[in-house]
Amino acid sequence: MATPKTHHVGIIMNGVTGRMGTNQHLIRSICAIRKQGGIRTSDGEVIFPEPVLVGRNPAKLQELSKSQGIDKWTTDLDATLDDPANIIYFDAQTTGRRFDAVMKAIKKGKHVYCEKPIAVSSAEALELYRAAKAAGVKNGVVQDKLWLPGLVKLKSLIDYGFFGEIISVRGEFGYWVFDGKGPVASQRPSWNYKKEEDGGIISDMICHWQYVIQNLFGEIKSLSCLGATHVKERVDESGNVYKCTADDSAYATFELKNDVIVHFNSSWAVRVRRDDLLTIQVDGTKGSAVAGLRHVIFPLRSLRTCLASKASHIIVLD
Ligand X SMILES: NC(=O)c1ccc[n+]([C@@H]2O[C@H](COP(=O)([O-])OP(=O)(O)OC[C@H]3O[C@@H](n4cnc5c(N)ncnc54)[C@H](O)[C@@H]3O)[C@@H](O)[C@H]2O)c1
Residues of this chain that interact with ligand X (CB under 6 A) are 15, 17-21, 55-56, 92-95, 97, 115-116, 142, 144, 189, 204
Rank residues 142 and 256 by Cβ distance to ligand X and give the closer one.
142
Q: Rounded to an integer, what distance in angstroms lies between the CA atom of residue 218 and that of residue 260?
A: 8
> Which among 135, 136, 111 is positioned nearest to 47, based on CA atoms?
111
Rank residues 174 and 284 by Cβ distance to ligand X and give the closer one.
174
Rank residues 111 and 145 by Cβ distance to ligand X and give the closer one.
145
Angle 201-216/149-159 helices, nearest 10 degrees?
A: 30
Q: How far is the CB of 282 from ligand X (least distance, A)?
A: 21
Rank residues 15 and 51 by Cβ distance to ligand X and give the closer one.
15
Q: How far is the CB of 261 from ligand X (least distance, A)?
A: 25
Q: How far is the CB of 167 from ligand X (least distance, A)?
A: 28
Residue number with the smallest Cβ distance to ligand X: 18
Rank residues 6 and 187 by Cβ distance to ligand X and give the closer one.
187
Assess contact for 270 and 175: CB atoms under 8 A: yes
Q: How far is the CB of 241 from ligand X (least distance, A)?
A: 19
Q: How far is the CB of 92 from ligand X (least distance, A)?
A: 5
**Conformational region of residue 230, where left means phi above 0, alpha means psi within -120 to 50, and beta covers everything else:** alpha
